[in-house]
Structure 1
Amino acid sequence: MLDTVAWIVLVILSVAILLCFIRMIKGPTMFDRIVALDLLGITMIGFVGMLMIIQDTLVYTEILLVLGILSFFGTVALSKYMEGGVIIDRDSD
């Protein structure tokens, strides 16, 4: 029963990833694309987590951590760039 539910969730997450990718491509504004990119990263984390549950392994734990870190830093960097155009402030004292 749990295996069937896990596969159903995996299919739903696959559809969500496809829809996020479409929104990232067709988004009317850059801010919509940034939010879609962040949601794509979070959904990918859920997808890999479900693969770990289905395969009954902990092999992909490092992939989850890397996806989370890259998703967070990518969202912060793009948002900061859209806000002011400068990602890293370097003070030349």
Structure 2
Amino acid sequence: MSWYDIVLMIALILLSFSIILVFIRIVLGPTLPDRVISFDLIGTITIGMIAIYSITTGVESYMDAAIILSLVMFLGAIAFAYYMKKKKL
């Protein structure tokens, strides 16, 4: 096991820990925009984890899943912005 693999594993562990912290923010978030931004952050962290896992295993097709997830997250952010505009949050 090389230093490169060790650094990638440490990065995965830290990203997992950050998902736990963001989940706490979702539970404690006082407003709806706080919760939506937290969900978006979980998606972004998940994309990073998928990318690191793809590098670790050498399977490039996982990057396709990361790209699709980022596109869905973008559409979700647009839909929420539209909702906020209509509801005047």
* TM-score scaled by length of structure 2: 0.86
Residue deviations 1:41-85 (CA, integer Å, cap 9, x gap): 111110100101111220212211111011111111112202214
The count of aligned residue pairs is 85
* Structure 1 residue 66 corresponds to structure 2 residue 68: yes
Amino acid at match of 1:27: G
Per mean C-alpha deviation after superposition, the further-off stretch among 5-14 and 68-77 is 68-77
Give 1:23 shift.
1.6
Candidates 19, 36, 41, aligned match of 1:34: 36
Mapped partners of 1:21, 1:83: distance in 2: 26
Superposed structure 1 runs of 4+ greater than 3 Å apart: none
Candidates 44, 48, 64, aligned match of 1:46: 48
Structure 1 unaligned segments of length 5 or more: list them: 86-93
Q: Percent identity?
A: 34
Structure having the larger proportion of residues in helix: 2
Structure 2 unaligned segments of length 5 or more: list them: none
* TM-score scaled by length of structure 1: 0.83
Amino acid at match of 2:72: L
Mapped partners of 1:24, 1:71: distance in 2: 17
Mapped partners of 1:80, 1:16: distance in 2: 28
